[in-house]
Amino acid sequence: MLVVFSSNLPGIVLREIGLPPTEFEDFGELTRIILDVIEAHREAWDEAGVLHRAVSVGNILIDPVTRSGYLIDWDESCLRSEIENGPVEPYRVGTWQFYSALTLSYPRKPYRLSDDVESFVHVFRWLVLRFHSTEIRNLRTFVDAEYESNVRSAISGIRVGGDQKLRSFSTPTSLFKVTRNDSLQGLLEQLAYNCFLHYQLIDMDLMHARYSVPHYTNPQAAQQPKPKPDHAPIPTPPRPSDDDRIKGIIAEIFDLDHDDAWSESPWQAAPPGTDACDVVGFLSDHAGLVNIFKQAVDNNTPRQADQFHLRFCEQD
């Protein structure tokens, strides 16, 4: 319904016309496909004020003729004004594996553009894990923890997760390494590093205070004190007066003088009085992700055998 007017935007279609993204030929093509759908998502947001809200592997297709990527299934999309002014929605849309870490951990939080942008990162990582060999010893355990893990919450019908994704974003390096593909590993490291910087800006204590949902699976547990989610501690969000390390990192990225790194950088923690997740960072718009993927479109390493099938069977 909402995407009728966006059907003329490049990269956006309203019906399935192609192949699933699992049919990519090499990792350069996969990068271009993801880049196509990010660009389409950006046009829908910038020109029409529409947010997809269900970015997943299942909602991306490859045109069999042009080999371009398409973003489909806009049924759950909403307008910018609905996000900014509407109520919090406890019932999420989309596919669990590709939700942002914050959406999984705090289902009561308001949905943001950054949640969709982060979903593209999870889509790409999931496809890499599935179709490229890695140094992960127990792939099933890693994939289950990163993309499947969840527990019942105190709200009927609502499950929470995201602990492992929060851990992934609490370190500046990728938690897994591919074998014999320096270009692809470099892309994964750039994604990890920049997502880490974004999450450094988020006041996780405030997120917990405002949006945490008790994790218990039976009525008796409701009578017990509820601990914070069991995830690795994420450092206190940086401030211009007390975190020279983060200022130095930002200065390096944007080629700034150290003293000007904070004031001139476009990345900022949420201003006082705004929502804790309303930071201005790598995931807050599409530009950073687009720039990273553009640098990796020439990787001609072929897609490998389905690692989920091979490795999961080995571990049974």
In this predicted model, what pLDDT tens digit does every residue of 50-80 receive, in sequence order?
Answer: 999 999 999 999 999 999 999 999 999 999 9
Rounded to an integer, the average pLDDT of 246-272 is 60
Share above pLDDT 70 across residues of the chain, in percent, rounded to a whole number = 74
Per the rule left: phi > 0, alpha: psi between -120 and 50, beta: everything else, 82 is: alpha
In this predicted model, what pLDDT tens digit does every residue of 225-253 receive, in sequence order?
Answer: 444 444 444 444 443 333 555 555 555 55
What domain range includes position 124?
A: 94-315
Kindly report the pTM of this predicted structure. 0.81
In this predicted model, what pLDDT tens digit does every residue of 156-202 receive, in sequence order?
Answer: 678 899 999 999 999 999 999 999 999 999 999 999 999 999 999 99
Specify if 266 maps to a domain: yes
Which pLDDT belongs to residue 145? 96
Separation of first and last alpha carbons in the chain = 45
Of 238, 216, 244, 242, give the one whose Cα is nearest residue 229.
216
- Cβ atoms within 10 Å, residue 308: 15
Counting the structural domains of the chain, the total is 1
Task: Compare 80 and 91 and report the one with higher pLDDT.
Answer: 80
Residue 139: both structure tokens together:
């792939």
Of 69, 13, 18, give the one whose Cα is nearest residue 44.
13
Specify if 42 maps to a domain: no
Residue 109: both structure tokens together:
């939080």
* Secondary structure class of 71 (helix, strand, coil): strand
Give dist(CA 238, CA 26) in Å, integer.
39
Specify if 295 maps to a domain: yes
- Cβ atoms within 10 Å, residue 2: 17
Specify if 16 maps to a domain: no
Specify if 158 maps to a domain: yes
Specify if 71 maps to a domain: no
Specify if 281 maps to a domain: yes
Of 121, 279, 277, give the one whose Cα is nearest residue 190.
121
Residue 293: both structure tokens together:
């993927």
6 and 44 Cβ atoms separated by less than 8 Å: yes
Specify if 55 maps to a domain: no
Which pLDDT belongs to residue 165? 96
Please give the helix or strand (H or E) that residue 160 lies within, else none: strand 159-161
Which pLDDT belongs to residue 11? 56
pLDDT band at 150 (very low <50, low <70, confident <90, very high): confident
Which pLDDT belongs to residue 169? 95
Which pLDDT belongs to residue 288? 94
